[in-house]
Amino acid sequence: MTMADLNGYRDQVWALVDVKSFYCSCEKLFDPKLANKPVVVLSNNDGCCVAMSDEAKALGIQRGAPWFKIEREARRLGVEVRSSNYALYADMSRRFIEELHRFSPYIEQYSIDEAFVRFDGFKLDGLTQYGHEIKQTIQRHIGLPVRVGIGATPTLAKLASQAASRYEAKVNGVIQLDSEHRCRWLLARTDIQSIWGIGARTAARLRSTGLNDALQLSEKNAADMRRLWNVGLARTVLELQGLTCISPGDIDEKRKQILSSRSFASGISAIDELRAALAFHCQRAGEKLRRQGSQALVVGVFLRTNRYKDLPQHNISSAVPLACASQDSYRFLDSALVQLAKIYRPGYEYQKIGVILDELTDANNDHFQLDMFDTSALAEMKRRDLMAITDQMNARFKNGIKPASVIGSTNWHMRQAYRSNRWTTRIDELQIARC
């Protein structure tokens, strides 16, 4: 590993900025009563714990713990609970990314609470202080606590961010890997599975060859790793050695299949309610499809009853190809409704419905294939323009355009018994200050 240029300038320097306990931090920001209290945020239908504050983690609450199992003890210990408030979290994520643009023009969002920032051409010996400035500015402007990891590559920046969390009290939430000694010290203390892009299965295989930590992996020859393993692992080795060869976008590849599904708060037997839920999922799946620039040739629908209840069971799925590949949510809905009518059976209490879009290809207008027997395909190009406008309107006005059946029914919506107000996106839920 060479760090000879770390005393001056470097062509590429990366920082990973992530929000500490993002869901819980958003909840605490708008509810001062939660300060210094243990807080957990629950998954869809208030099922499992998906986010915990530091105080909740100190009590031993584990991610994924079913709330119904731990509720009594958690209440006894003073734990505050909230349902997932996706409207609030998405809006705070947008504000977080906007703040980062103050510090660099090169921002690449990695997840709802993480973003990579490029500091190309910056003086390296001032980046730690710059990281503290980022941390303080975001805390001051939008009230969210962040951690900053800075390294020569995205992989090293990711490891530095993890270390900033692990040693937060000592480094005040900011770590820069600005020397070879510091890099080797951290890599030696990083488990092989903690490296960005290495999953549990690959980690187990690496351990079987005697590679247990990041330092051991960084000392391998990249050409040998490519020959014996794969290109991805060879790139990881080079990244650990300080050579940038992975873009954050490389890790987030296009999905080969789009799924939209959600369990109901309680069982549903009425087909009208199932149609409303199906319309919602067709719209969601279409938005995901268009966001990644794909089109789908096959539409699938599935229905599930609750296998944990002593009730008649009916689990069934269906998939039907379209005449030509499409991006149109309403074409997906037309197909899905026909399939639902065929697979639905009255008398069953359904717990889940979902839509699957399959056989995805790039939505390239130059290679758009029409079908001579499908007259609706002639309008497909105009429908794409309509879908693009719909997506823009929904992004601006928070899903203001949707199928009428979605608006007309609410019984299928997920349970959110502990949801806080959508403070930043709903005028009827704004904070009220009394003087």
Q: What pLDDT shows up at residue 429? A: 82
Q: pTM for this structure?
A: 0.70
Pairing of strands 146-151, 174-176: parallel
Per-residue confidence (pLDDT) for residue 6, from 0 to 100: 45
What residue type is assigned to position 193 of the chain? Q
Q: Supply the range of the domain harboring residue 356.
A: 258-406
- 302 located within any domain: yes
DSSP-derived 3-state class of residue 416: coil
Query: pLDDT tens track of the chain, all 435 residues?
Result: 444 454 454 567 899 999 999 999 999 999 989 999 999 999 877 888 999 999 999 999 998 899 989 999 999 999 999 998 888 888 899 899 999 998 988 888 888 899 999 887 777 777 889 999 999 999 999 999 999 999 989 999 999 999 998 888 888 999 998 888 889 999 999 999 999 888 888 899 999 999 999 999 999 998 988 888 888 889 989 989 888 877 665 544 567 788 888 778 778 888 888 988 898 899 889 988 888 888 888 999 999 998 878 888 988 888 888 878 888 888 899 999 999 999 999 989 998 898 999 888 887 654 555 555 555 555 666 677 777 777 777 777 666 666 766 555 555 566 677 888 888 877 888 877 777
- Residue 161 counted as domain residue: no
Question: Is 127 inside a domain boundary?
Answer: no
CA distances from 383 to 104, 348, 403, 433 (A): 37, 37, 15, 46
Phi, psi of 257 (to 5 degrees): -155, 140
Q: Tell whether 307 is covered by a domain.
A: yes
Split into its structural domains, the chain has a count of 1
Q: At 294, give phi and psi (nearest 5°).
A: -115, 170
3-class state of residue 407 by DSSP: helix
Is the Cα dihedral 57, 61, 66, 71 positive or negative?
A: negative
Q: CB–CB of 325/296 below 8 Å?
A: yes
Paired tokens of 291: 């966001």
Give the containing element (helix H, strand E) for 54: helix 54-58
319 domain residue, yes or no? yes
CATH for 354: 3.30.1490.100
Neighbours of 234 (CB within 10 A): 20
CA angle 308, 312, 318 (to 5 degrees): 90
Q: Do the strands 174-176 and 316-326 form a parallel or antiparallel pair, or are they unpaired?
A: unpaired
Q: At residue 8, what are phi and psi to the nearest 5 degrees?
A: -125, -115
Is residue 344 included in any domain, yes or no? yes
Q: Is residue 106 assigned to a domain?
A: no
How would you class 275 by CB atoms within 10 Å of its CB: exposed for 0-12, middle for 13-18, buried for 19 or more? buried
pLDDT at position 398, please? 62
The partner residues of 148 in beta bridges, in order of sequence, read 17, 174
155 by Cβ neighbours in 10 Å (0-12 / 13-18 / 19+) ranks as buried
Residue burial 51-80, b: 16+ Cβ < 10 Å; e: rest:
bbbebbeebebeeebebeebeeebeeeebb
| Structural domain includes residue 299 | yes
Q: How far is CA 140 from CA 99, 135, 145, 159, in A?
A: 11, 9, 9, 26
- Sheet hosting strand 294-305, strand order edge to edge: 258-268, 350-362, 294-305, 316-326
CB neighbour burial string for 391-401, b if at least 16 within 10 angstroms, e if fewer: beeeeeeeeee
200 burial type by CB count under 10 A (0-12 exposed, 13-18 middle, 19+ buried): exposed
Q: Please give the DSSP secondary-structure letter assigned to residue 191.
A: B
Helix axes 154-166, 180-188, angle to 10 degrees: 70
Q: What is the pLDDT of residue 4?
A: 42
